[in-house]
Each structure stands twice: as C-alpha cells, then as structure tokens.
Amino acid sequence: MAKTLERTFDGRELFASTLVWSAAVLVTGTFCWLLGDILWHGLNQISWTFLTTPPRNAGREGGIGPIIVSTALILSVCLGVSLPIGVGTAVLLAEFTTDESLFGRLTRRSLDVLSGVPSIVFGLFGNAFFCKTLGLGFSILSGGLTLACMVLPILIRSTEEGFRSVPTGYRLSAAALGLSRTTTLVHLLLPAAVPGLLVGLVLGVGRAIAETAALIFTSGYVDRMPGSLLDSGRALSIHIFDLSMNVSGGDAHAYASALVLVVLLLAINGTASWLAEHWLHRRIVTV
Amino acid sequence: MISSGSNTLSRWPTDRLLLWSLRGVATIAGAIVLLIVVFLVMEALPALRHVGVARFFTDPSWHPTEGFYNLTPMLWGTLFAMVGSVLIATPLGILSAVFCRYYAPPAVAQLYRKLIELLAGIPSVVYGFWGLVVLVPLIGAINPPGPSLLAGIIIVAIMILPTIALMADASLTNVPQQYMRGAAALGLSRWATIRGIVFPAAKSGLFTGVILETGRAIGETMAILMVCGNVVQTPHSLFDPIRTLTANIALEMAYALGDHRAALFVSGLVLMAMIASLVAAADWISRGRIYG
Amino acid sequence: MNKCGNFFVSKKNVVLALSMAALMCVPLSAGAQKPAADQLTGKLVVTGASTLAPLIGEIGKRFESLYPAVRIDVQSGGSSRGVADARQGLADIGMVSRAMKEDERDLSAFPVARDGVCPILHQENPVQALADEQVVAIYTGKITNWKAVGGTDAPITVVNKAEGRSTLEVFLHYFKLKSVDVKAQVVIGDNEQGVKTVAGNRNAIGYVSIGTAEYDATHGVPIKLLPIGGVEASTESVQKGIFPLSRPLHIVTRTPPVGLAKAFIEYAQSKAVHDLIRQQYFVPLAD
C-alpha cells in the first residue's frame, strides 16, 4: 500500500507502526495467557463421558451433558427472539427514520441506556417480569428472553452501522428502477449489511453465552436434562460459577467446562461467519 | 435515508405493512428500558419513602444493618473503574482493529480476529477467576492487598476490549475503497491515511463502539466482585480496594430483606441515572458531528 | 425446485426448520414410566442459600431415583430469598443456612446438617494459633502487623464476609463484634472466594465454613485452619459438638408440610442421606 512514494525513513510512520504492533502483541499476549491457563488446567478433564453424562457429586464428578443442552436451548431462544426484533429495529432506524426524528433519537438513546444496565439488574428484572408476572417460572424460556433483552442493543446498533455503510448508490438505483422499499431491503440492502449484522451477532452471542448473573435468577440452577423449554436448566456459565465459587474442589471441572464453552463459541462464530459468506456470495457480486 | 414514496409498481401495500411492523418491533425494543426503570422504581419505593433520597448521599457509611445507606463511595468506585477501563481499552481496541486491517499479513489478521471474537464470549466468571488467582496475587506482591481498583480496571479493560475492537474493525472495513485509492494516489503514507482519512470516515462506528463498551464497563458485575476487594470506601490510590454499585447489588441482594433490599434497588436506579446522563452527554457531543 | 436458488425454501432448510420446531414442542425426555399407585408424583421447587444448594441438589437427585415420577428443582438465590419465597408460596421449600431469626418463627424449620466456621491463614504463615482477643484486635484494626502476634513483619490483610451472610453473623456473634467495628481490606461473598483470596496472599486472614476449608486444605490448597479456644477446627470437632463456632442448616416451609414436601423433608433428615452430607463436607445431625 502506497509503498512506491514512501520516504525511506519516516519517523512518524515508524512510531505508528511500533505502536500498532505493540498493542497487538500486548493484547495477544494477555489473551494467550488467559486461554493457555484454561487449556492447561482443563484439557485433561475432557472426554466423551464428560461431554455426555450428567454431573454427580455437585458437579465434582460426572460430566456436563445436560448443561450443554440447556445452554444450546437458552441460546436458541435468545437468538430466535432477538434476531427478528433486532434486525427489524435496526432497519427502521437506518432506513426509515431521519437523524432528526424524535422516535429515532429516543429509540437509539433508550437502546444505549439498555446496553449499560448491569447484568444483575437484568437478572432481577427477568425474574420479576418473565418468571413472576408472565408466569413462566424458572425456565429456559425466561432465561432466553432475558438474554434477548441484553443482546438487543448490541445487535441493533451494529446492524444499524452495517446499514449505514451501504453506499447510497444502491438505494438510488433501486428507486430509479421502481423497486418497492421491501424488495430493495430484502434483496439488496440486507445482504450488503450482513457484515455489520455478523459483528452484532458475534458480540451478542458472546455476551449471551458469557452471562451469569442474569441467568441465575431466570433459567435457574437445575442440572437435569431439560424436558421442554419451560423446564429450568443450568447454563454453562452458571455451572462454571458454581464449581469455582460455591463447590469446594470443583476447580478442575470448572476449567474443563470453560474450555468446552470456548470451543462451543468457536463453533458458533465459525458457523455464523460461514453462513454470512455463503449468503453474501450468492447475492451480491461486488466489483 | 431515501425519502422516496412507497412502492410504485406493486399492487400490495407491502411497504406500508413493512413500515408498521418495523415500527411495532422498534417500539418493543425501545420499551424494554422503560419496563426496567418502572420495575426498579417499584422495588425501590419502600427505601425512598422510609429513608429519603438525601440520606443516600449523606449518611456516614454503608451499613444497612445499622441503618446507614451512603452510596457515594461506591459511586466513586464505579466511576473510577469505568473511566480507567475505557481509557485503557479504547486505544488498545482501536489499534488492534487498525493492526488487523492495515498492518498484519492476511493470515495473521484472520487469526487475530478469531482470537478477539473468542474473547468476547468468555464468561465474566472465568475472567474473574483468572483475575483472582493470577492477577490479584501479582498486584498483591507489588502493593498489598492484591484486590484493588487497579485489578478491576485491568480485568474490565480486557473484557470490553473485544467490543471496541470488533466494532472498530467493522467500521474500518466499511470505509469506501475510493478513499483508500485516493489516498494512495496522493502518495499518503500508511499512518497518514489511517489518521487523516480512515478515522474520520469511520467515526460513527467508532463512536458507537465506545458507547457500547462503556455500557458494558458500567454493567460488569461478576468479575469486579471477585477482584476489587469490595470494601466500601472512596479510593485514594490505584491499589485501594473498592466496591462498585453493581458488585454491591450482587453481593448483598441474596441476603437482604425489607429496606435493605429496596436500598439496593435505589442503587440500581442511581446506576441507570448515571448511564442515562452519559448517553445524553454523548448525544449532545455527537449531534450533527458524528452521524452526518 | 432449487433452480431459482431461493435460499429459504431449499429442501434441506425445510427439514431443518421442521425438526427444530418439533424439537421445541415435543418434550425431550424419553422413558416416561407409568407411576405405580403407591409412588409419589409431582414437582417441588426449592430455593434459598447457595451453600445448601449443592447438598439439597444431591439429596434431591437420590430422592428422584427412588421415586422416578418426582421432580425436585433446586434454585439458589440466598437465605433471605429462601425465606421470602417460602412465605409467598413461590417455592415449596426454602433453604436457610443459619439459625432461624425471631421474626421467622411463623415458618416450620427443619435442620438437616451443621457446619462450622473457622479462621484460615496461608499455609506458610508461621502463626499457628490465635487467642480470641487477638482475633478481635486484628478484625477491629487494632493489630495491623503480623509481628504483634508472633508472625513475620508484614501488614495483615483482613478478609471479611459481606453483610447479611450467615458465616459473618456467626463470627460476629461469637466474638461479640458489630458489623461497623470490623475494619477489613477485602470483603468476599462466597466461601471459595475467601479460600482463594487467602491462598493467594501470605499475609491474609479470613474465615470460612469448616467444610470448605477442610476439603481444600486436604486437596492441596495452601491454607490452614486455626483452632478456636484451643479446639481444633475440623468437621470431627463440630460433630462432637465441642467446636464453639457452628451454625445449623435448615430447610423451611410456610406451613407444616404435607404430601410430597413432607416425604422429601423426612428423607432429607433421615440417616439415608448422611453419606451425602459428609460428601459435601457438612456434619450430619446426631439423633
């Protein structure tokens, strides 16, 4: 990039380079330390039995089979609810409101405030609203819905950014061709905005799977295999919390569960990226 | 936004349907925060009535069992932890994104991005646990006791870094190719392009990223609970233990009854007020200058 | 059918969508047994102290294996939640990890185990025992250096428990202190957090449940338990009744229990679960 016209020695350039590379090295170093720690302590506990059998002796022995299933269900409910609402709101904010409109500004600000609500307040709110007022009790459904509330601001804001980045030319050409707004949206804009959606999804899934305080009060502590969405189910993050902070001698399995969580996250992120590539590739051919 | 009329060539009122369903959905999203505020106010009313608002800032200390409800030291704790972590995470995150996009070889960039995406999903418990067994003893060796404001700042900075890094990465990607080609045509060096052209072009995405990460920093509960020491005092140095409002709620909610419980909800309201004022300030700063 | 490349209607995706919908609606658990006429059925919701949750969870699992048509759902949330939920009928049984208070006499309380509380030090701390007055002086901030009690020249890091916790109340009650008197450098929530804090700091002193401390000390965590009043701190001395700092662990109901709740409570208080109680490092009640 711009190599031919560079001066042979540019102090500013060198300084910037050093800064950027050291930031990257620092970040990588810290994260490798953390991940390495988890890997080191958790790897020797992982086995097929660990992944499929239920926990015994308060989690010190046995496995985490039902917990993985509960986590997957909670995540599905969360994404199933937050994706339509999130993408819809983002589309409205980006395409159908101007920057001065009151509704747009109010919604954006309320979402910003929502993104700052502490996870424990979400847990207490979820407990009062979903478990008690709506009568769902301690269940995977309450947990998923509470997580959807937490994930919405991230999803909406980054999808909105994705839409803003689509060149105006697309919309003008579509209008010139007489396409309806809906068609423009579904066939032209949405695929183009998928990178923004993807970032929101990855951040949202990350936030959801990492959530502990909100789930203790909503989807609960029961480590049995859930029979339906209305059953209480323990999520991986809660299991890790319980094993490391509440149960003596649970550290080994806590590390192993953390490792499983990391792998699960890798799988979800990988699938999301692949889906995005697949979609984008089939829809838009960019020059 | 294009303010063209709705669909002209179709018989079905799809556009109007779309608009109204989108409005419905957005109202749901916007109403959630209202519901939460209503919930907090309802739960906090007993304390507001019995204790009164002024005492939450003027009582001698925070000892609910003795009837003292001063929130100020914890408010300072929350503020310092938030400001410190955002100050560390933002430049590191933005520089990470710049590294990914413009300085790293493609294979390394791919790996790096995957690493950051992974770190967005590690539970706060794991960060807290790692902080408790690795970071806190390290800090304790420099300056006892280990659990401190510094430990909290470092851990929260690590936790919010993926948010700003990924958002920055996305907004850097969205900078139009013509800008980059124009810069190359003008003979600008790499850093000059980044500083002079890319950052201004990406500023709305960067701004959103900073807001999201600040929100996350304020709301972090579990990790702070484990590494900050949880002593209710106004910190005078980086090595002082502190308690944030969120950690306070998590710590005491399980065992609080009556007025104590309602007082914890009051601290939840104070947090919401803090976030709302930050958002309003951000709105005022960004009016017309960011989303333009 | 796939020629137009409509992403959503390809056969693979229809099958996927249908199977996901089916998964959501149909209960997952197989093996529905026909309950025998004399067997118990139903579901019990038990909420309360996180200290008791692992133990009651394990007792519940064993109870479920005896009566397959029964479900015991254990949630955590703290002793006061246990009391509140039992009172409001949101839970069938509450778990309370302390002696019952005066204003809780309206509930029916059933002790299931005992637990001791003892001070812990780092293993490498040369101090072997502390007199009661010394502990009081350390915790009120009058003694701030280990050399005043026969240790190395280093500042003492006092670790205290958060307000409202039953270990704190037992500790304060025995040493005749008030919560405002304690000057601590670190405040912790759960027992394991206390253990890890002390294990990471050679100059720390804290107090935790004897069960937790004993388990960790015998499994290689570098802490040691201090005797109180000359009595060695161990689950054995709590069992013998000679250890001065101990607390009872209760399960409570709003009204005298009938039916399934009664059967479960009787089972939890019976000799059949003494091995489970010992496995969690609590002390079974002698009868």
Q: Stretch A34-57: mean pLDDT, rounded?
A: 88
- The answer on pLDDT for A148 being more than 90 is yes
B191 is a domain residue = yes
pLDDT band at C223 (very low <50, low <70, confident <90, very high): very high
The total domain count for chain A is 1
Residue of chain A whose Cα is closest to the Cα of B212: A115
Alpha-carbon gap, residue B35 to B13, rounded angstroms: 33
CB contact (8 A) between residue A92 and residue B22? yes
DSSP-assigned letters across all residues of C78-133: -HHHHHHHHHHTSSSEEEESSPPPGGGTTSEEEEEEEEEEEEEEETT-------HH
Residue A286: its H or E element: none
> Among A33, A121, A203, whose Cβ lies nearest the Cβ of B268?
A121
Q: Stretch C252-280: mean pLDDT, rounded?
A: 90
HSE-CB for B271 with a 13 A CA cutoff: 37
My answer on whether omega of the bond before B123 falls inside 30° of 0, hence cis, is no
Q: Where are the beta strands (DSSP E) in C123-263?
A: 157-161, 186-188, 204-209, 223-225, 246-253
More confident residue, C58 or C38: C58
Alpha-carbon gap, residue B9 to B257, rounded angstroms: 64
CB contact (8 A) between residue C211 and residue A225? no
Which position has the token pair 């986590």? A71
Could you tell me where the DSSP H helices lie in B174-257? 177-186, 190-193, 199-201, 203-219, 222-227, 245-253
CB contact (8 A) between residue C189 and residue A244? no
| A11, two tokens | 């102090």
User: Mapping DSSP to helix (H, G, I), strand (E, B) and coil, where does residue A225 land?
Assistant: coil
Does the CB of B6 have a partner CB in chain A at under 8 Å?
yes
% of chain A exceeding 70 in pLDDT: 94
Residues 215-274 of B with CB under 8 A from A: 215-216, 218-222, 226, 245-246, 249-250, 253, 265, 268, 271-272
Q: Please choose, from the candidates B36, B126, B129, B81, the residue with its C-alpha nearest in 3D space to the C-alpha of residue B247.
A: B81
B229 is a domain residue = yes
**Cα–Cα distances in Å, from B38 out to A60, A121, B41, B152?**
41, 12, 5, 30
Distance from CA of B275 to the nearest CA of C (A): 26
Question: C45 near C75, Cβ under 8 Å?
Answer: yes
Q: Please choose, from the candidates B217, B215, B206, the residue with its C-alpha nearest in 3D space to the C-alpha of residue B175.
A: B206
Condensed to tens digits (0 to 9), the pLDDT of residues B143-178 reads 877 889 999 999 999 999 998 999 899 889 888 889
**Cα–Cα distances in Å, from B248 out to B18, B53, B71?**
44, 18, 10
**Has the ipTM of the complex gone over 0.85?**
no
**Cα–Cα distances in Å, from A220 out to A123, A213, A243, C46, C198?**
11, 10, 15, 11, 30
Residues 158-197 of B with CB under 8 A from C: none
Q: Stretch C271-287: mean pLDDT, rounded?
A: 86
Instruction: State the DSSP code for A226.
Output: P
Alpha-carbon gap, residue A202 to C4, rounded angstroms: 30
A108 is a domain residue = yes
Does the CB of B178 have a partner CB in chain A at under 8 Å?
no
Please state the separation of Cα A171 from the chain's center in Å.
Answer: 29
HSE-CB for C55 with a 13 A CA cutoff: 31
Which position has the token pair 């989807």? A219
Pairing state between β C108-122 and C93-96: unpaired
Count interface pairs A-B at CB distance under 8 A. 331
**Phi, psi (deg, nearest 5) at residue C44:** -115, 135
- The answer on pLDDT for C15 being more than 70 is no
Residues whose CB falls within 8 Å of the CB of residue B14, separated by 6 or more in sequence, listed in order:
A180, A182, B7
Q: Stretch A203-210: mean pLDDT, rounded?
A: 86
Taking contacts as CB-CB distances below 8 angstroms, the residues of chain B near A24 are 95-96, 99, 103-104, 112
Question: A261 near A198, Cβ under 8 Å?
Answer: no
The pLDDT assigned to A7 comes to 56
Radius of gyration over every alpha carbon of chain A, rounded to an integer in angstroms: 23
Alpha-carbon gap, residue A261 to B108, rounded angstroms: 24
Condensed to tens digits (0 to 9), the pLDDT of residues B40-57 reads 999 888 888 888 888 888
Taking contacts as CB-CB distances below 8 angstroms, the residues of chain A near C90 are 132
User: Mapping DSSP to helix (H, G, I), strand (E, B) and coil, where does residue C155 land?
Assistant: strand
Q: Please choose, from the candidates C103, C98, C106, C96, the residue with its C-alpha nearest in 3D space to the C-alpha of residue C76.
A: C96
Taking contacts as CB-CB distances below 8 angstroms, the residues of chain C near B143 are none
Q: Stretch A247-253: mean pLDDT, rounded?
A: 86
Question: B159 near B94, Cβ under 8 Å?
Answer: no
Distance from CA of B253 to the nearest CA of C (A): 8
**Phi, psi (deg, nearest 5) at residue B60:** -65, -30
Does the CB of B200 have a partner CB in chain C at under 8 Å?
no
Global pTM? 0.86
CATH number at residue B150: 1.10.3720.10
Please, what is the Cα angle at C38 between C36 and C43, to 5 degrees? 80
Residues 220-279 of C with CB under 8 A from A: 279
Most confident of A22-26, A267-271, C101-105: A22-26
CB contact (8 A) between residue A121 and residue B249? yes
- The answer on pLDDT for C24 being more than 60 is no
The pLDDT assigned to A274 comes to 82
Pick the residue of A136, A221, A231, A234 with the most C CBs within 10 A to test the interface with C by mutation.
A221
The pLDDT assigned to B74 comes to 92
Pairing state between β C186-188 and C93-96: unpaired
- Provide the Cα torsion A115, A121, A126, A128; round to 10°: -140
- Provide the Cα torsion C207, C210, C216, C219; round to 10°: 150
> Among B133, B252, B254, whose Cβ lies nearest the Cβ of C77?
B254
The pLDDT assigned to C33 comes to 42
Taking contacts as CB-CB distances below 8 angstroms, the residues of chain A near B106 are none
What one-letter code names the amino acid at B49? R
B36 is a domain residue = no
The pLDDT assigned to C4 comes to 43
**Cα–Cα distances in Å, from A192 out to A188, A196, A277, B178, C34?**
6, 9, 11, 17, 55
Which position has the token pair 């909100």? A214
Report the DSSP beta bridge partners of residue C93.
C46
Pairing state between β C108-122 and C204-209: antiparallel
Would you tell me how many other CB atoms lie within 10 Å of the CB of residue C154? Answer: 13
Distance from CA of B247 to the nearest CA of A (A): 9
More confident residue, C56 or C2: C56
Radius of gyration over every alpha carbon of chain C, rounded to an integer in angstroms: 24
Q: Stretch A48-56: mean pLDDT, rounded?
A: 88
The pLDDT assigned to A152 comes to 93
CATH number at residue A154: 1.10.3720.10
Condensed to tens digits (0 to 9), the pLDDT of residues C106-160 reads 889 999 999 889 999 999 999 888 888 999 999 999 999 999 988 888 889 999 9
Q: Please choose, from the candidates A113, A206, A229, A105, the residue with its C-alpha nearest in 3D space to the C-alpha of residue B32.
A: A113
Pairing state between β C108-122 and C223-225: antiparallel
Residues whose CB falls within 8 Å of the CB of residue C217, separated by 6 or more in sequence, listed in order:
C223, C224, C225
The pLDDT assigned to A202 comes to 86
Residues 131-150 of B with CB under 8 A from C: 132-133, 136-137, 140, 144-147
The total domain count for chain B is 1
CB contact (8 A) between residue A245 and residue C74? no
Which of A270-279, B72-81, C176-185, C274-283 is predicted least confidently?
A270-279
Condensed to tens digits (0 to 9), the pLDDT of residues B85-119 reads 999 999 999 999 999 988 889 999 989 988 888 88
Q: Stretch C14-34: mean pLDDT, rounded?
A: 49
Structural domain boundaries, residue A201: 48-52+59-283
Alpha-carbon gap, residue B194 to B148, rounded angstroms: 37
> Among A27, A33, A240, whose Cβ lies nearest the Cβ of B96?
A27
Structural domain boundaries, residue B136: 62-287
Condensed to tens digits (0 to 9), the pLDDT of residues B214-272 reads 988 998 888 999 999 899 989 998 899 999 999 999 888 877 777 888 889 998 999 98
Q: Stretch C163-171: mean pLDDT, rounded?
A: 83
| A131, two tokens | 């478990």
Alpha-carbon gap, residue C122 to C223, rounded angstroms: 4
Residues whose CB falls within 8 Å of the CB of residue B12, separated by 6 or more in sequence, listed in order:
none
Does the CB of C190 have a partner CB in chain A at under 8 Å?
yes
What one-letter code names the amino acid at B73? P
Pairing state between β C186-188 and C157-161: parallel
The pLDDT assigned to A3 comes to 54
- The answer on pLDDT for B182 being more than 90 is yes
The pLDDT assigned to A279 comes to 65
**Phi, psi (deg, nearest 5) at residue A248:** -70, 140
**Phi, psi (deg, nearest 5) at residue A143:** -60, -45
CB contact (8 A) between residue A222 and residue C280? no
Residues in chain B, total: 292
Residues whose CB falls within 8 Å of the CB of residue C164, separated by 6 or more in sequence, listed in order:
B65, B252, B254, B255, B256, B260, C80
User: Mapping DSSP to helix (H, G, I), strand (E, B) and coil, where does residue B35 land?
Assistant: helix
A32 is a domain residue = no
Q: Please choose, from the candidates C228, C253, C255, the residue with its C-alpha nearest in 3D space to the C-alpha of residue C242.
A: C228
Would you tell me how many other CB atoms lie within 10 Å of the CB of residue B247? Answer: 31
CB contact (8 A) between residue A246 and residue C27? no
pLDDT band at C30 (very low <50, low <70, confident <90, very high): very low
- The answer on pLDDT for A157 being more than 70 is yes
Q: Please choose, from the candidates B145, B282, B288, the residue with its C-alpha nearest in 3D space to the C-alpha of residue B209.
A: B282
Alpha-carbon gap, residue C58 to C56, rounded angstroms: 5
Question: A77 near A130, Cβ under 8 Å?
Answer: no
Instruction: State the DSSP code for B229.
Output: B
Please state the separation of Cα C269 from the chain's center in Å.
Answer: 17
The pLDDT assigned to C25 comes to 46
Residues whose CB falls within 8 Å of the CB of residue B58, separated by 6 or more in sequence, listed in order:
B70
A204 is a domain residue = yes
Condensed to tens digits (0 to 9), the pLDDT of residues A99-147 reads 778 888 888 888 888 988 888 899 999 988 998 889 888 999 999 999 9
